Each structure stands twice: as C-alpha cells, then as structure tokens.
Amino acid sequence: RKEVEQDPGPFNVPEGATVAFNCTYSNSASQSFFWYRQDCRKEPKLLMSVYSSGNEDGRFTAQLNRASQYISLLIRDSKLSDSATYLCAVNIVVGGSTLGRLYFGRGTQLTVWP
Amino acid sequence: SAVISQKPSRDICQRGTSLTIQCQVDSQVTMMFWYRQQPGQSLTLIATANQGSEATYESGFVIDKFPISRPNLTFSTLTVSNMSPEDSSIYLCSVHGTATNEKLFFGSGTQLSVL
C-alpha cells in the first residue's frame, strides 16, 4: 500500500465551479500535512498547510480527518489560473521521528475552462 | 522562504556517464533533501543531505548510484552515476529552514534525459 494515495483526476471544470480533491495517508502517526501546487514543467510550490481544525485561505479550504486518515482541498469559484496539478504531502514518521521528510501523492490535475 | 538556485536546469546525457546537480540556498538551512519526479509520477525522496556527514538514503536509493555532498549549510550536490534511460527524470532540491517547520520549498529542478 502506498503511503499517500490521491485522486488521480484529471478534473475538468468550468470557471466558477467548486472542486474538491482528496488524499488518504497510511501512517496514523503523521503530524504534518500540506497541499502543493505544481504548474507544468515547474517545481511544486506550497499552497497551504492543513491544520486539524481546518483552515481557509481565500477560495481555498483545507481539511484534515484524522480518524479516516485523509486530507482534502476545496477550491471555490475556480479561476482559469487555478489550472495546475495539486499534490498532497504528508510527513514521514520513522521510529517516532520525522526529520522533516515528506511523502507526496501522485497529484491531481485540474483544468479550468472558460 | 529561502531562494534556492539549482543547476543545470536541464541536460541530455549519454548512458554510462554521470551528472552532478548543484543546489545553492541564499541562507543557512537546517535540512536539505533531494527528490526525484519521474514522468507522470509523484515526488520520491532520494535522500537527506546531512551537513558534514554522509547522506541518509531512502529505501531503494544507494550512495554508489546517488552520491551526495553537503559541505556547508547553504550548498549541496547530487550526482547521478552511471546513468541509464531509467534515470531520466526531474531532480529537485528542497529545503526547510527550521527543525520545527516542515514546510518544504523546492528549487526549480533539473530535467535530465538519458539517451
């Protein structure tokens, strides 16, 4: 079983739509969760951290469900500029230590069309 | 966030040769990591570059194939040795600044093609 499983997509939505991505993780000891955005042929860039209480940044909302071991990203009022691949990331825990290492999901491709 | 410069940005290499990728950060950082992203795949952690000591490799990666140096807190190199077409990938340097902050920031990556 992979450490991080992510909706493969692709998601193709019209402008203004709401779209949600999910990501499940296998290590219940994981403590840190993130969403990254990756544009074509570019490096991943941190979009937002995911906190236990859920957090919002403008049109983006991230949530964590520890019981079911998944994180989600909701994008409201999609813009053309939101078209990208979205990667979830979960910290690697080995022997009670993370040492800053992250596992990444495969990424979900989003295309927003006019 | 730190500014991370990675070079070369891309290269095309012959099988059997080696390529060294450099990563320079504009500030001292605690942790540096090397990732690989194969076409259509996720990012896979290769190793943690440790300052002044041998790198810590993840399962499936070995020092003979991917030797790593980290002479100080702002610089690291990754060498891809004895390359084969299966090594064609994007290689990414990443850092985070403090031991308690696990947010990773990435260099612009090296697109490697092996013929």
Kindly report the three-state secondary structure assignment for every residue of chain B: CCCEEEECCEEEECCCCCEEEEEEECCCCCEEEEEEECCCCCEEEEEEECCCCCCEECCCCCCCCCCEEEEECCEEEEEECCCCHHHCEEEEEEEECCCCCCCCEECCCEEEEEC
The pLDDT of residue B101 is 59
Mean pLDDT of chain A: 91
- List all residues of chain A from 50 to 89 with a beta carbon under 8 Å from chain B: 87, 89
Confidence of residue B74 (pLDDT cuts 50, 70, 90): very high
The pLDDT of residue B2 is 79
- List all residues of chain A from 17 to 46 with a beta carbon under 8 Å from chain B: 32, 34, 41-46
Q: Do A99 and B31 touch (CB under 8 A)?
A: yes
HSE, CB side, 13 Å, CA atoms: give it for residue A69: 12
pLDDT at A35 over 80: yes
Segment B54-76 shows an average pLDDT of 95
Cis peptide before A8 (omega within 30 of 0): no
Confidence of residue A1 (pLDDT cuts 50, 70, 90): low
Q: Do B108 and A43 touch (CB under 8 A)?
A: yes
Within an 8 Å CB–CB cutoff, is residue B42 touching chain A?
Answer: yes
